[in-house]
Amino acid sequence: MDLGGVVKDVVKKIVFLGSIYIPDDVAASLKAALDRETDPNAKFMLSAIVKNIDLASLRKVAVCQDTGMPTFHVALGDGFPIRSGLLDIIRDAMREATKEIPLRPNTVDPFHEKNPGDNTGRYVPWIDVELIPGDYVEIAYLPKGGGSEAPNKAFTLPPGVAWRELRKRLLETVVEYGPMPCPPTIVGIGIAGTIDAAVKLAKKAALLRNVGHRHEDPKVAQLELELLRDLNRLGVGPHGVGGVTTALDVHIEYAHRHPAAFSVAFVFSCWATRRGIARIYPDGRYDILSHPETYKKVFMEVPAT
C-alpha cells in the first residue's frame, strides 16, 4: 500500500468536499436564520444564500467563486509514518485539485503581481502543524475568502480595561466593516499573552469549531453567547442590509497571558465558511469527518441491484 498516494487522494477529496458542500452545521444555522428573520431585506439575502448552497451541491461546483486562500491545519500523531513529507503531498494535491474541480487560482506574488495559476506559491498552501498523541493524522482544509480578511484585527490591551475594551472594539469593528466580510459571519476571538498566539487561536476558533459548539469552560461559553447576542442586536444583518443575523456564532479560544499584556485577535469567517476534514490511519484507512454522508453519496454510490 502506498500511504503517500492515499494521503494525496484523501487531501484532494477534502478539497473537493470543502469547496463545494457547506458543512451541515453552517448550512443548518443559515436555514434557521432564514426562518427567524422578519426583515424583508435580510430574508432576501438569506434565501439567495440558501438557494446558492443547494445549487452548488446540485451542480457540484465551488459554492463561492472565491475558493479561498489555500490553508491547511494538520494534527500529526506521533505514530503516523509520513512526517515532513506531508507538506509536499499536500502541495501536490492542492495543485491537482485546483485543476480538476476546478478552483480559482488565488495566489499572487506581492512583489511581481504574478499568479502561478495553480494555488501554490511561496509558503502556500499555508500549513499549520500541531503535534498530537496517536498513530493517525488529521488534515483539515480551511479555505478562507479574501473579503473576510478585511476586518480582522489584533491588538494588545492593558489588562485592567481589557474585557470592556474587547467588547467595544468587537462591536465597532463589526459596524465599521458592515457588509464587507459577507455576514452572517463566524467570529473567532483569541486571547493570549502575545499577538501571534492570539491570532493563531482566533483563526482556529473561527474556522475549526462547529457552529453551536460552546467552549468547555462555562465562563468562556457564557461570554461567547453574550457577545453573539450583542452582535445580533446591531442590526447589520446578512450582507449588511439589516436584520437580526449579523453573526452565526462567536468562538473564543485562550492561552494564559503575560501579567502586563492582554493580547486579543478577531478573525472573521464569511457565511460560506468551508471545511474539509479527514483522519488517515497508518494502514491507509481513512474517515471523512467533515462530510461523512455527502462523501458516501458522492464517492461511494453504488447502483441499486
Partner 1 sequence: MEHRLRTPLRDEDVAKLRVGDTVYISGTLVTARDATHMLLLDMVRRGERPPVDLRGLALYHAGPVAKKVDGEWKVLACGPTTSMRMEAFEAEFLEVTGVKLVIGKGGMGKRTADAMRRLVAAYAIFPGGAAVLAAEAIKRVAGVYFLEELGIPEAMWVFEVEDFGPLTVIIDPTGSNFYDSVRERAGRAIEEILKG
**Smallest separation, CB 228 to partner 1 (Å):** 12
Sign of CA dihedral 146, 148, 151, 154: negative
55 touching partner 1, by CB under 8 A: yes
3-state class of 278 per DSSP?
strand
173 touching partner 1, by CB under 8 A: no
Stretch that binds partner 1, among 135-143, 165-173, 194-202, 247-255 (CB under 8 A): 165-173
49 touching partner 1, by CB under 8 A: yes
79 touching partner 1, by CB under 8 A: no
104 touching partner 1, by CB under 8 A: yes
**Smallest separation, CB 289 to partner 1 (Å):** 24
Please identify which residue in 175, 195, 220, 289 interacts with partner 1, judged by CB under 8 A: 175
Nearer to partner 1, 43 or 200 (CB): 43
Other CB atoms within 10 Å distance of the CB of residue 270: 22
62 touching partner 1, by CB under 8 A: yes
Residue 109, CA atoms < 13 Å, CB-side half-sphere: 10
Q: Which triple of cell numbers denotes residue 151?
A: 476586518
- The residues, any chain, with a CB within 8 Å of residue 84's CB and separated by 6 or more, are none
**Smallest separation, CB 114 to partner 1 (Å):** 8
Integer Cα distance of 139 and 150 in angstroms: 26
**Smallest separation, CB 271 to partner 1 (Å):** 6
**Smallest separation, CB 9 to partner 1 (Å):** 22
194 touching partner 1, by CB under 8 A: no
Other CB atoms within 10 Å distance of the CB of residue 131: 9
- Write each residue from 236 to 255 as x if it is in contact with partner 1 (CB under 8 A), else as -, in one continuous string: xx-xxxx-------------
Please identify which residue in 9, 24, 230, 287 interacts with partner 1, judged by CB under 8 A: 230
Q: Give the binding-site size for partner 1 (rule: CB under 8 A).
A: 54
Q: Which triple of cell numbers denotes residue 163?
A: 474585557
3-state class of 298 per DSSP?
helix
Integer Cα distance of 112 and 129 in angstroms: 29
Which H, E and C letters describe 221-264, residue by residue?
HHHHHHHHHHHCCCCCCHHHCCCCCCEEEEEEEECCCECCEEEE
Integer Cα distance of 18 and 35 in angstroms: 25
Please identify which residue in 79, 85, 146, 158 interacts with partner 1, judged by CB under 8 A: 146
Site for partner 1, rule CB under 8 A = 41, 44-45, 48-49, 51-52, 55-56, 59, 61-67, 102-106, 108, 113-115, 117, 145-147, 150, 167-168, 171-172, 174-175, 178-180, 182, 230, 233-237, 239-242, 270-272
